[in-house]
């Protein structure tokens, strides 16, 4: 079955140069990401909010906003609408968490790879390769196997072991590399000719961003076709931030939301903050960050090809970029887990730490509605050890049991 899609063409995000839709593309002539453009007028006439509201609460409900033409190519591992959760114990102010850890493979990378692999399938691509800090590779492995594709995945050697094992179990060829993610990217580039694979690096193909865009569509719909005042986004390659910004523009173009935009806040870690440095320097592009290190491995990206798109969205929105320490990330993670029962991944916890810091510095006010993005499950990361033990052969002093591991933040 052929459903309508409304894709008109692909467009270079820097030069505006056009490329035909439905063809295999990586970067533009000037080496920048391509964005998918739609006939939004036709889309707006075809689809109503009411039609949409009757569909199952899953990613493909937004199919008219997405590029896949053939229904048979729309891969699914069951991508649910993710909840917006309040943090009433942890905070007195108007803050919620969009919990993306509920997606297949435990991270929002599923949104991007669901789309990218579906499009690769539609375009007849059979072998793909990607550098990853873990979560993207896991999602590629999963959707790649579902699509019957061959996937090659390259991870920095200190990627959490559970990620690497998950990728292998889900059927990809996975290798650990003694370097950072962009060194892994060089291997992908180096193998293009010999291996004949398609380069699935962040923003080096046009469709992952369309999958991430569904976060913006979904958030606006969840809020009754409005947007929050501020969004705190843990920023690595920035696909999600750029994708949401694109979603809001498309929704305004079809008249479903008004011209209000959230202030977009790019959150990074002190140990890897190229976007924050560029933001503060007033630069259009970000320079590579040396010796990147942070517990939040999903945002350990020293160099992002979409740097100027992140910076543009942050600035146009009246937002800012902010870095937080690993200590504050781990403290926020433990506080929220212990007080709310919500275990955030370190990247999500970074947005919580950044929110607190921004409140303290007066950069946001407590009565602005803020949405924090928790992008992956904490269960894929090493957690602090528990050392409390009981010897069942000795008398037990029950009054001492509250001395166990829980309680105070690490």
Ligand X SMILES: *Cc1c(COP(=O)(O)O)cnc(C)c1O
**Residue 96 touching ligand X (CB under 6 A):** no
Site for ligand X in 379-408 (CB under 6 A): none
Closest CB 305 distance from ligand X, rounded Å: 11
Piece of 143-151, 177-185, 232-240, 357-365 that binds ligand X (CB under 6 A): 232-240
**Residue 240 touching ligand X (CB under 6 A):** yes
Q: Which residues, in sequence order, are bridge partners of residue 18?
A: 11
Q: Measure the CA–CA gap between 350 and 354, rounded to whole angstroms.
A: 6
Among 91, 94, 105, 135, binds ligand X (CB under 6 A): 135
Among 82, 235, 331, 333, binds ligand X (CB under 6 A): 235
Among 63, 69, 98, 109, binds ligand X (CB under 6 A): 109
Closest CB 134 distance from ligand X, rounded Å: 7
**Residue 106 touching ligand X (CB under 6 A):** no
Q: Measure the CA–CA gap between 201 and 193, rounded to whole angstroms.
A: 16
Query: Taking the C-alpha atoms of 374, 377, 378 and 382 in order, what is their torsion angle to the nearest 10 degrees?
Result: -140
Q: Measure the CA–CA gap between 61 and 394, rounded to whole angstroms.
A: 59
Decide whether 11 or 100 has the Cβ nearer to ligand X: 100
253: nearest Cα among 94, 18, 42: 42
Decide whether 6 or 245 has the Cβ nearer to ligand X: 245
Q: Distance between the two ends of the chain, CA-based, in angstroms?
A: 54
* Block residue for tokens 């000719």: 193
**Residue 376 touching ligand X (CB under 6 A):** yes
Which three-class secondary structure state does DSSP give residue 11? strand
Element (H, E) at 34: strand 34-38
DSSP E strands, 287-340: 320-324
Among 131, 298, 302, 319, binds ligand X (CB under 6 A): 298
Site for ligand X in 170-209 (CB under 6 A): 202
Decide whether 214 or 239 has the Cβ nearer to ligand X: 239
Contact of 59 with 114, CB cutoff 8 Å = yes
**Residue 236 touching ligand X (CB under 6 A):** yes
Closest CB 22 distance from ligand X, rounded Å: 25
Piece of 59-67, 229-237, 273-281, 394-402 that binds ligand X (CB under 6 A): 229-237
Among 36, 128, 299, 321, binds ligand X (CB under 6 A): 299
Q: What are the DSSP calls for 68-79, one per residue? A: --BGGG---S--
Task: Quote the tokens at residue 76.
Answer: 């699914």
Residues that bind ligand X (CB under 6 A): 107, 109, 135-136, 202, 234-240, 298-299, 345, 347, 375-376
């Amino acid at each position: 079955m052929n459903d309508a899609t409304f894709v008109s063409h692909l467009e270079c995000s820097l030069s505006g140069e056009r490329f035909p839709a439905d063809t295999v593309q990586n970067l533009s002539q000037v080496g920048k990401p391509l964005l998918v453009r739609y006939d939004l007028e036709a889309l707006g006439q075809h689809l109503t909010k009411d039609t949409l509201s009757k569909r199952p609460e899953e990613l493909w409900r937004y199919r008219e906003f997405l590029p896949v033409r053939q229904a048979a190519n729309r891969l699914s591992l069951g991508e649910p609408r993710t909840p917006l959760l309040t943090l009433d114990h942890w905070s007195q102010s108007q803050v919620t968490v969009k919990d993306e850890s509920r997606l297949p493979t435990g991270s929002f990378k599923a949104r991007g790879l669901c789309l990218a692999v579906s499009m690769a399938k539609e375009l007849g691509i059979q072998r793909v390769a990607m550098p990853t800090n873990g979560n993207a590779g896991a999602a590629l492995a999963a959707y790649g196997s579902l699509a019957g594709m061959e996937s090659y995945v390259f991870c920095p050697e200190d990627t959490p072991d559970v990620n690497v094992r998950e990728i292998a179990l889900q059927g990809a060829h996975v290798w650990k590399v003694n370097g950072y993610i962009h060194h892994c990217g060089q291997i992908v580039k180096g193998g293009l000719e010999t291996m004949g694979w398609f380069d699935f690096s962040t923003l080096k193909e046009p469709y992952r961003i369309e999958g991430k865009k569904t976060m913006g569509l979904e958030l606006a719909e969840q809020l009754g076709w409005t947007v929050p005042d501020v969004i705190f986004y843990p920023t690595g390659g920035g696909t999600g931030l750029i994708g949401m910004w694109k979603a809001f523009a498309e929704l305004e173009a079809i008249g479903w939301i008004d011209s209000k935009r959230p202030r977009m806040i790019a959150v990074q870690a002190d140990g890897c903050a190229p976007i924050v440095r560029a933001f503060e320097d007033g630069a259009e592009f970000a320079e590579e960050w040396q010796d990147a290190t942070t517990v939040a491995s999903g945002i350990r990206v020293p160099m992002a090809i979409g740097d100027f798109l992140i910076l543009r969205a942050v600035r146009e929105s009246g937002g800012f970029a902010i870095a937080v320490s690993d200590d504050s990330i781990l403290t926020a993670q433990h506080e929220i887990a212990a007080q709310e029962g919500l275990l955030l991944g370190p990247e999500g916890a970074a947005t919580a730490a950044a929110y607190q810091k921004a409140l303290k510095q007066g950069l946001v006010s407590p009565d602005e509605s803020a949405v924090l993005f928790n992008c992956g499950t904490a269960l894929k990361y090493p957690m602090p050890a528990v050392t409390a033990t009981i010897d069942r052969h000795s008398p037990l002093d029950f009054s001492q049991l509250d001395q166990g591991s829980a309680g105070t933040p690490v």
